[in-house]
Amino acid sequence: MATPKFMFFLALLLPLVLSVNGNGLAVGYYSRSCPQAESITMNVVKQTLAVAPSLSGPLLRMFFHDCFVRGCDASVLLNSPTNQAEKDAIPNQTLRGYEIIDRVKNALEIHCPGVVSCADIITMVSRDVVVQTGGFSWNVELGRRDGVVSLLNDALTNLPPPTDNINALVRSFRGKGLSVKDLVVLSGAHTIGIGHCSAFRNRLYNFTGKGDVDPSMNSHYVATLKKICTLNGPDVFVQMDPGSSKKFDEGYYAQVSKNRGLFQSDAALLNNAETKAYVLAHKGGNQESFFKDFGVSMVNMGRIGVLTGNAGQIRKVCSKIN
């Protein structure tokens, strides 16, 4: 007969066993090989955002930009001597925070060399950014390995541009195995961070190529944006969720519901029955629901095209293959 101590030990292991999914990922993957992996990562993120809160948006966005191109394999981190890697593509040229990923990697290599992948570091950092900016935590599935290929054209082909309409967005997400709900929930990441004028200037000055304004935009919002983003001015930036761009909350949905979504892809959420219903349900007073949904959708996105087992490698330095 099993002793109480043995039964307690099994109870501790059971959640880890149940959490393994069909892709070979698991919650608590490093519990034996690098038990401090998640706490070390969280500490670096906490220290970083304490002095550089503006990195929260780019670090969260990095997870999306990695997973949508060749899967969640840290290919977005690789450098190219000829500037032909994913990070060199126009959609990725505004990404920041690579040095924070390196800082986490360096700390983990001291404690458990050659164990934690760069792909898993991006995953953990994305969760920790949300927590440190006011959102809920969730159990991250880990066990990814790093890819060895990174191509500029792959990023151009796979990353949905901010000018996409709702049909294009739905196709893009479904092509990655994500649902319409995942689309509208993950769009909520725009509650933190900034957007560059080049990504939405056409909505202010030349929406259909005839020098017009996007009629779906709130006129007062247009006037505000034009003061910052002039027709031929520099590519400056604005907050995606004005007044709350450093806090993870449901303010983004309130903005979209008032026709104040910054990008066409934000405004597009009002052009589909399911996404519109979610926006309106979360424009205020339903934050806990959004927080829980966001964790679920982030886990779903974290399963895209993962490398596990003997595939890929565990990079020693995140910016280059071994």
Within the chain, residue ranges assigned H as helices are 4-18, 37-51, 56-67, 98-111, 118-132, 152-158, 166-175, 180-187, 201-205, 219-228, 251-257, 264-267, 273-281, 287-301
Residue 190 assigned to a binding site: yes
> Which residues contact residue 322 at a Cβ distance below 8 angstroms, ignoring those fewer than 6 apart?
313, 315, 316
Q: Among 65, 111, 196, 220, which one carries the catalytic annotation?
A: 65
CA–CA–CA angle 79, 75, 137 (5° rounding): 120
Give the pairing type, strands 194-196 and 237-239.
antiparallel
| Residue 65 annotated in active site | yes
Residue 215 assigned to a binding site: no
Distance CA 73, CA 76 (A): 8
- Residue 190 near residue 250 (C-beta atoms within 8 A): no
Residue 86 assigned to a binding site: yes
Distance CA 259, CA 254 (A): 9
Residue 19 assigned to a binding site: no
Residue 191 assigned to a binding site: yes
Burial of residue 219 (number of CB atoms within 10 Å: 0-12, 13-18, 19+): exposed
> Which residues contact residue 282 at a Cβ distance below 8 angstroms, ignoring those fewer than 6 apart?
188, 250, 253, 289, 290
Distance CA 170, CA 178 (A): 9
> Which residues contact residue 71 at a Cβ distance below 8 angstroms, ignoring those fewer than 6 apart?
147, 304, 305, 306, 307
Helix (H) or strand (E) holding 194: strand 194-196
Residue 71 assigned to a binding site: yes
Residue 257 assigned to a binding site: no
Residue 133 assigned to a binding site: no
Residue 69 assigned to a binding site: yes
Q: Which tokens go with 46?
A: 């906490």
Binding residues for Ca(2+), as ranges, are 66, 69, 71, 73, 75, 86, 191, 241, 249
Binding residues, as ranges, are 66, 69, 71, 73, 75, 86, 160, 190-191, 241, 249
Binding residues for heme b, as ranges, are 190
Binding residues for substrate, as ranges, are 160
**Could you give the residue numbers annotated as active site?**
65
